[in-house]
Amino acid sequence: MAAELKDIEGMTDEWCSSTRELEQIKSERLAYLQTYGASGLYQIARMNWKGQAEARNSYEASEGKPLTVRELERLQSKYPAENSCSRSRKTKLKKNATEEDRTRDLVSQLVNTVKAINWSSIHDDPEAMDLLSTVELRLDHMAELVEKWKYSPLTITSRYEQLEIPLNQDADGCLQGSMQPM
């Protein structure tokens, strides 16, 4: 629940097309949370994100009618939140691995999307240019990350390994240290 409130506080204009839209979303989220009493909020706080999303969707589908505490208890038992104190190291490692997989999938989707766009027609479309300008700084940051990665020692080493070129060869193709003085 604290995370939901923190998300509301941390929302910025980059997620919305206008300040008015941002304020509307914030007020809708607060109105949703205020429909529940202490017991309802307690049950929501004990759910994982899937349970919270289901509770929110049910609220929106019933046009603003909150779920009862009993219904929230059922959702909570179906979607319990993980208690970070009781998680083992193995669980944390597994969670990090799934987050890495998810990030890798998102990057793959981004690359495929970028490749699919007809960039020559974008500059004539003011709406598309306006949308792109909202992520300009993030795109610059991505370009900097790739540039740093390309020239990091680990990356250079792995590229040589991919090319199967030994790192200890000199310019003539001879292995260093293998030349015997005559």
pLDDT digits (tens, 9 = 90+) for 29-66: 888 889 988 988 999 999 998 999 899 999 888 988 99
Is the Cβ–Cβ distance between 11 and 26 less than 8 Å? Answer: yes
Q: Supply the pLDDT for residue 72.
A: 93
- SS3 call for 134: coil
Q: Is residue 179 part of a domain?
A: no
Q: Supply the pLDDT for residue 177.
A: 45
Q: Supply the pLDDT for residue 47.
A: 92
Residues 97 and 73 in one domain: no
* Alpha carbons 64 and 35: distance in angstroms, whole number: 8
Q: Is residue 172 part of a domain?
A: no
What is the residue-averaged pLDDT of the chain?
Answer: 76
Q: Is residue 146 part of a domain?
A: yes
Q: Supply the pLDDT for residue 179.
A: 47
Residues 68 and 119 in one domain: no
Is the Cβ–Cβ distance between 48 and 21 less than 8 Å? Answer: no
Q: Supply the pLDDT for residue 82.
A: 80
* Alpha carbons 159 and 150: distance in angstroms, whole number: 9
Residue type, 49: W
Kindly report whether the global pTM for this prediction surpasses the value 0.85.
Answer: no
Residues 74 and 93 in one domain: no
Cα 170 from chain centroid? 44
Q: Supply the pLDDT for residue 80.
A: 92
Q: Is residue 141 part of a domain?
A: yes
Total domains in the chain come to: 2
Q: Supply the pLDDT for residue 128.
A: 84
Residue ranges for the chain with pLDDT beneath 50: 169, 171-172, 174-182
* Alpha carbons 59 and 37: distance in angstroms, whole number: 14
Is the Cβ–Cβ distance between 41 and 1 less than 8 Å? Answer: yes
Q: Is residue 174 part of a domain?
A: no
Q: Is residue 173 part of a domain?
A: no
Residues 107 and 52 in one domain: no
Q: Supply the pLDDT for residue 161.
A: 58
User: What would you measure as the largest C-alpha separation in the chain, in angstroms?
Assistant: 92
Is the Cβ–Cβ distance between 40 and 69 less than 8 Å? Answer: yes
Q: Which domain holds residue 56?
A: 2-78
